[in-house]
Structure 1
Amino acid sequence: MILGVIADDFTGATDVASMLVRAGMQTVQVLGVPAEGLPEADAVVIALKTRTIPAIDAVAQSLQAMEALRKAGARQIYFKYCSTFDSTAKGNIGPVTDALMQALGADFTIACPAFPENGRTVFRGHLFVGDQLLSDSGMRHHPLTPMTDANLVRVLQSQTQQSVGLLRYDGLQKNAAGAVAQLRTEGVRIAVADALNNGDLLTLAEVCAELPLITAGSGVALGLPPAYQRRGWFQPSDSAAQLATVQGPVAVVSGSCSEATNAQVARWIADGRTAIALDPLALHTGAQTAESLLAEALPVLAGGPVLLYATAAPDRVKAAQAELGVEAAGALVEHTLATVAQGLVQAGVRRLVVAGGETSGAVVQALAVQQLRIGAPICPGVPWTQSALPQSGEPLLLALKSGNFGGVDFFAEALRQAGAAL
């Protein structure tokens, strides 16, 4: 193993794995730290569900994952977080970075959530989503991890006792290695890195390829395989993204309430496709249940795909949270969607799209999925993946989509790519 990745949620794990496969690395994603050891591959991504849990638990789970990856021979550790740099109010990114640096004996690392292909760029330490500052984007309304400050140096410095600096764009362009050396001389331990395009990501990967630890979104991972190849550590594989052909009913489950997913749900409905909405308040009273939702959805599958969604506009989300509480509302929706996904698979669905990081985590746990092979991307950061059903061993294709990713026609495009007739 060359690279060991610790991802703080399940869609983020497939996101970074997709970048590595795209560059020819044989990559396997595992869900949690398996007791029997890690599979053999150029890169192994351990998907955790640590973005919104207490920091002490996030640190403990991340250290366990790091120890497993190092034991399996990983040359480098990569802590992967969201391209919108969100975790909790106090932040899990800083505490996890601190713990990994200490455990690895690292005196310097970078922090770079940039993913230009999906509109995430960093300039002068400020994170942009498209043309908007992060603090002006839809992330300011996120129901679990709202982001109201685009200054990443300030955000990260509030989460760590270590000195946080800025690897500026001009330094990155002129002499990246020299700029890093200067920051280290000044006592900076974590450098927020500017990046505006894929060329910047390649530069960052080259200058950081031999650091014990990198912390970033998925973008920097695009540049690591070429950097490793130049060092003679591996050769790209043409078959890295090949998956099995799978037949059977198809479905979509969506729990994300991001602007992107709201637009995707709206397009699906506007196109006249079957969509069944979850209502958190009805779930709470028992007027709606996972069983009733499945009873409505299953007869539809024979005639085509069905979408079950809890995706809603910010005002509706806030109303449910006010009634039930933020954590209780989220947990209720996650549990219901996971149970629904389980029922869909039991009914024969073998190609399943899941939207939302927290929802994806709940679904794969309910399905008892342990390992995913990473296939070709549907869109930047979202690949099809292949698992095996625990009891029968039948292949199951899963597309685990971060809420903010994908164009408005993502659901239909994903299913078409998987061979579904719409």
Structure 2
Amino acid sequence: MPDPPLLMLADDLTGALDCAAAFAARGHTTFVSTSGQIGAVNAQVIALNAGSRPQPPAQATHAIRAGLRAARDSGASLRFVKIDSTLRGHPGLEIGVAADAAAATLVIVTPAFPDNGRTVAQAQLLIDGVPLVRTEVGADPLSHVASSDVAVVLRQHTDAPVVTMPLATIRSPALATTLADLLPSNAGSRPTIVSCDAVTNADLDRLIAAGQAIAPPSGPVLFAGSAGLAAALARATAPNHREVPDRPPPAPIRAGPIILVSASQRTLADRQVTALVEHHLVELHRVEIQRDGRESAVGRAQRRLAATALSAGRSIALRSTVPGDTAALAPAEMRVLADAIARQLAAHVAALATEARIGGLVIIGGDTAFAVLSAVQASGIVLHDEPLPGVPLGTISGGVLSGLPIATKAGAFGDDQTLIRLFTHLRPGATPS
């Protein structure tokens, strides 16, 4: 009898894709649900986007529980809880709710993602060696994180016990025994959440191996982290092609121009798009968006210009602009504006992609990716590969763009040349000038 699908519960869409991509790259049939439902999916690995990150705690709890109910009905087995690599959202709540639902006894947690500069040392989350709260990501008013201490952030939204584990213990031969000693002594007790240091991929591999060594009969052990820990779990989970024989082939590279869309406010994302434009791989098209989310006359004219470029076979990058000064907006107002930007950009992409024959989509940012996929009535993404760390590639499943290649990236991932490398992968004949 085949094993049940491995389930990953994620706080946002790019996170679900990042974590699932490592499994697809190693040969697992992998599906990422964008609709909150799973249904009769023929896959070995399923990632479900709960969309909990931007929600208030009560709504986030409801979204997580709804996702877990859908997973239970599908027979999938929860193994991994994806949290943000910079601790945005409610990581303690997400872990606690999922662990309770799975009756887990232990949760091994680290947001470390060494391939993208995220490490945890002395309990502190570092971004390229800088404590989180001193970085652009940590200062984001939309997702302010009060501490670089991972355990402190986890405790904000859970009453489950949280303990820290230093790097010396992670690298000790007795790691599995040390973790086993943290198992609750009484049946029915809250699971122990272990916040772990990790600075290399080898550290992440050690955590996965130790957690698997103390799994049943002691009770379920969950892993929680970002794409770094998910990749370690993928390395330790060999695919069984005999169970699911129709593994998808590599993602097709279609003829036709590519639409890149970004609403990310990250300086890094700006530099990445600028590099593409400067190397003549895309044309930059600004899209003016009103604060109430309505398309302006200027925005309609800009969309017509973008459609003309696509019809001529030229790839484009869509970036949003908002009239007036937004710097003084309160965080709640910024969130409303960010949602409006994502929805309007999604409407532009949906219209352009159905009017012109395009070769694929590249989307920066989880909210934008979710909005675009919702606008084209997609049910999910079948993942095929991970051409770059943190950049999954797949095809859209369901809706009016079913079968279209799509790549996604979090706004804060990569370096200045990441999008150039991605576009030359999608267009092997393209040469940056």
TM-score (norm 2): 0.86
315, 323, 339: which one pairs with 1:305?
315
The 1:383–1:248 alpha-carbon spacing in structure 2 relative to 1, beyond 3 Å, is same
The aligned residue for residue 162 of structure 2 is 164
| Structure 2 Cα separation of the partners of residues 311 and 212 of structure 1 | 46
91, 96, 100: which one pairs with 2:94?
96
The 1:417–1:389 alpha-carbon spacing in structure 2 relative to 1, beyond 3 Å, is farther
Aligned-partner SS, 2:236: helix
Aligned-partner SS, 1:141: coil
> How much has 1:247 moved relative to structure 2?
2.1
The aligned residue for residue 407 of structure 2 is 399
> How much has 1:316 moved relative to structure 2?
6.6
* Deviation by residue 1:258-290 (Cα, 9 ceiling, x = unmatched): 132021122233335421224455876864565
| Structure 1 Cα separation of the partners of residues 156 and 338 of structure 2 | 26
The 1:204–1:295 alpha-carbon spacing in structure 2 relative to 1, beyond 3 Å, is same
> How much has 1:64 moved relative to structure 2?
2.4
Question: Mean alpha-carbon deviation: is it higher for 381-390 or for 40-49?
Answer: 381-390
22, 27, 33: which one pairs with 1:24?
27
Question: Mean alpha-carbon deviation: is it higher for 398-407 or for 381-390?
Answer: 381-390
Instruction: In structure 1, give the amino acid aligned to 2:303.
Output: L
358, 361, 366: which one pairs with 1:349?
358
The 1:379–1:236 alpha-carbon spacing in structure 2 relative to 1, beyond 3 Å, is farther
417, 420, 424: which one pairs with 1:416?
424
| Structure 2 Cα separation of the partners of residues 383 and 199 of structure 1 | 22
Aligned-partner SS, 1:183: coil
Instruction: In structure 2, give the amino acid aligned to 1:413.
Output: R
Instruction: Please provide the CA RMSD for this pair.
Output: 3.0
203, 206, 224: which one pairs with 1:203?
206
Equivalent residue pairs, number: 412
| Structure 2 Cα separation of the partners of residues 143 and 62 of structure 1 | 24
| Structure 2 Cα separation of the partners of residues 22 and 354 of structure 1 | 19
Question: Mean alpha-carbon deviation: is it higher for 185-194 or for 354-363?
Answer: 185-194
The 1:188–1:282 alpha-carbon spacing in structure 2 relative to 1, beyond 3 Å, is closer
| Structure 2 Cα separation of the partners of residues 14 and 55 of structure 1 | 23
The 1:282–1:222 alpha-carbon spacing in structure 2 relative to 1, beyond 3 Å, is closer
The aligned residue for residue 64 of structure 1 is 66
Percent identity between matched residues is: 23
> How much has 1:421 moved relative to structure 2?
5.4
> How much has 1:388 moved relative to structure 2?
4.2
Aligned-partner SS, 1:144: helix
| Structure 2 Cα separation of the partners of residues 240 and 179 of structure 1 | 41
* Deviation by residue 1:225-246 (Cα, 9 ceiling, x = unmatched): 343449x999999966622342
> Would you say 1:77 and 2:79 are equivalent positions?
yes
Residues 44 and 244, structure 2, Cα contact 8 Å, conserved in 1: no
Residues 42 and 244, structure 2, Cα contact 8 Å, conserved in 1: no
* Deviation by residue 1:108-166 (Cα, 9 ceiling, x = unmatched): 21221111001111112111111211111111332421234211111111221111111
Aligned-partner SS, 1:192: strand
| Structure 2 Cα separation of the partners of residues 396 and 202 of structure 1 | 34
Higher share in helix? 1
Residues 7 and 79, structure 1, Cα contact 8 Å, conserved in 2: yes
> How much has 1:99 moved relative to structure 2?
1.8
> How much has 1:73 moved relative to structure 2?
3.0
TM-score (norm 1): 0.88
> Would you say 1:180 and 2:179 are equivalent positions?
yes
Residues 288 and 299, structure 2, Cα contact 8 Å, conserved in 1: no
Instruction: In structure 1, give the amino acid aligned to 2:169.
Output: G
Aligned-partner SS, 2:182: helix
